[in-house]
Amino acid sequence: MIIHLNKNVSQDKAGELAVKYQAAMFQNGRTVLITSSKVKIATDELKAVADDIFVTDTDIQLASKQYSATKREIKIGDFSIGGTTNNSVVITGPCSVESEEQIEQAAQLCVELGVKVLRAGAFKPRTSPYTFQGLGLEGLKLLDKMRSKYGLKIITEVRDSTHVDEIIEYADIIQIGAKAMYDHGILRKSGVSNKPVLLKRGFGTTLQEFVQSAEFILSGGNPNVILCERGIRTFETKTRFTLDLCGAAWLKEYTNLPIILDPSHAIGYAYGVPDLARSCMALGIDGLLIESHPNPKVAKSDADQQLDFAQFRALHSSLKKVAEAVGYRVI
């Protein structure tokens, strides 16, 4: 149950109520308490101090349409996604920042095509400890340099909670990767920031578990959460993962959060990314995340799935019509 407290309720009193009802509490213009969704009936004590009370079916609460029927609008610098914007933001860049020359080429491709958000990892959560682990802080500084030089927004991933403060400082959008979806240190720290967070679905998690992870960020007081479906593990081994488009349709129907799809990590092979990206766009979504690299053959991570620049240009030019056909606009 979500309770919007009346403005006259003191912080001390709100704190007492939070303890008594085992509720999460945050402030965002108003004080909000969230109890377990198992609580279906408000006590007279709660009714007396509440402006609004929302009963929800499950612990998908702040993210649910039962709480807010309209999709959240998330501001990323001078543009927004979600709300009633019907903007679909195309985000691209290499899997990892590898060098200044490489990330600058990626930034220049964004400028050439009018792509507003450059994405690359600096702290890489690799499957093997014996592969490239990312440039760390040096990579963040290179991304920061590209932002200043080219006026781009930057999205980059937090690997663990040891460097979440640096990511919050440098990134315009904090990416929480599939392997970190359950890292509560990251979720809680992102919850007390106001920066947009792109939360990726863990590849072995249900939609319920995925959105409940988003609830940790939302209930910390950060309303700016974007969900990202990036493929789940199935019995199929010909492709890297299986992109759950049914899941994306479910998220659209039942949550109030913008949705970005990541076909690159889902299929894992460049040959399928353009067709898959257009299929994703045809769903009517708030954005796409596509990996591209100036020379994928020598990429230090995810080499098989990154598009070269010619492939990305061709894909980008084809997305506009698909988006328009379903009432969206590529930005």
Q: Output the residue with the shortest Cβ distance to ligand PEP.
A: 177
Q: In this complex, which beta carbon is closest to ligand PEP, that of residue 189 or of residue 265?
A: 265
Binding mask 95-124 for ligand PEP (x = CB under 6 A): x-------------------------x---
* Dihedral sign of CA atoms 294, 297, 301, 302 in order: positive
Please report how close the Cβ of residue 168 comes to Mn ion at its closest, in angstroms: 21
Name the one range near ligand PEP by CB under 6 A: 14-22, 176-184, 214-222, 310-318.
176-184
CA 94 to CA 303: how far, in whole Å? 9
Chain residues 211-240 in contact with ligand PEP, contact rule CB under 6 A: 230
Amino acid found at 286: D
Q: Is 286 in the site for Mn ion (CB under 5 A)?
A: no
Q: Is 178 in the site for ligand PEP (CB under 6 A)?
A: yes
Name the one range near ligand PEP by CB under 6 A: 33-41, 47-55, 173-181, 292-300.
173-181
CA 211 to CA 209: how far, in whole Å? 6
Report CA Rg, the chain.
20
**What Å distances lie between residue 16 and 20, 24, 61, 271, CA to CA?**
6, 12, 22, 57
SS3 88: strand
**What Å distances lie between residue 188 and 161, 212, 300, CA to CA?**
9, 13, 31
The listed partner (ligand PEP, Mn ion, none) that binds 244, CB under 5 to 8 Å by sort, is none
CA 126 to CA 112: how far, in whole Å? 31
DSSP E strands in the chain: the ranges are 2-5, 24-27, 31-34, 50-54, 73-76, 79-82, 87-93, 117-119, 153-158, 173-176, 197-200, 225-229, 259-261, 287-291, 329-330
Chain residues 148-167 in contact with ligand PEP, contact rule CB under 6 A: 157
* # residues contacting ligand PEP (CB under 6 A): 9
Please report how close the Cβ of residue 299 comes to Mn ion at its closest, in angstroms: 9
Among 177, 258, 272, 287, binds ligand PEP (CB under 6 A): 177
**What spatial distance separates the first Cα and last Cα of the chain, rounded to whole Å?**
37
Q: Is 265 in the site for ligand PEP (CB under 6 A)?
A: yes
Chain residues 44-83 in contact with Mn ion, contact rule CB under 5 A: none
* Both tokens assigned to 217: 């960020």
Chain residues 41-100 in contact with ligand PEP, contact rule CB under 6 A: 95
Among 302, 319, 322, 328, binds Mn ion (CB under 5 A): 302
CA 222 to CA 141: how far, in whole Å? 25
Among 163, 189, 200, 300, binds ligand PEP (CB under 6 A): 200
Report the interface residues with Mn ion, using CB under 5 A. 95, 302
Report the interface residues with ligand PEP, using CB under 6 A. 95, 121, 157, 177-179, 200, 230, 265
